[in-house]
Amino acid sequence: DAGVIQSPRHEVTEMGQEVTLRCKPISGHNSLFWYRQTMMRGLELLIYFNNNVPIDDSGMPEDRFSAKMPNASFSTLKIQPSEPRDSAVYFCASSLGSSSYEQYFGPGTRLTVT
């Protein structure tokens, strides 16, 4: 079992550029989550999908952030345009769904916006 896969692992970009983070959840998992982690704010939930449908995006900080899940094995988180305050580690996690609260996290993408 490969676990949750995220790419890239590190991303350095300039302010104003578009950034796309990618996630492949564990096969058979119905729920997918995007989190952001910073020293100041800790681990924050951005958006949650169930069966590929976005259920709650109230954690998305602003319209510059968008997420998609075109199929059960792939999701993207896009930031356009990026700003220095978006610098953080972004995690993707998956779970079996509402029958299970156990989440499996990916290794994260460390984003630096200069």
Partner 1 sequence: SQKIEQNSEALNIQEGKTATLTCNYTNYSPAYLQWYRQDPGRGPVFLLLIRENEKEKRKERLKVTFDTTLKQSLFHITASQPADSATYLCAPLARGNYGQNFVFGPGTRLSVLP
Among 11, 23, 33, 113, contact with partner 1 (rule: CB under 8 A)? 33
- Tell which positions 58-97 bind partner 1, by CB under 8 A: 58, 91, 93
Among 31, 75, 82, 94, contact with partner 1 (rule: CB under 8 A)? 31
Residue in this structure with the two tokens 């509402």, named with its chain if needed: 98
Residue-level length of the chain: 114
Give the integer Cα–Cα distance in Å for 46 and 60.
Answer: 5
Q: Can you tell me whether residue 33 is helix, strand or coil?
A: strand
Find out whether 67 and 57 touch, Cβ atoms under 8 Å: yes
Task: Output 28 or 42, the one with its CB closest to partner 1.
Answer: 42
Among 13, 20, 22, 45, contact with partner 1 (rule: CB under 8 A)? 45
Which letter does DSSP use for residue 14 in this model?
-
Give the integer Cα–Cα distance in Å for 11 and 105.
Answer: 19
Part in contact with partner 1 (CB under 8 A); list of ranges 17-25, 49-57, 67-75, 79-87:
49-57
The residue ranges that bind partner 1 (CB under 8 A) are: 4, 31, 33, 42-43, 45, 48, 50, 55-56, 58, 91, 93, 98, 101-108
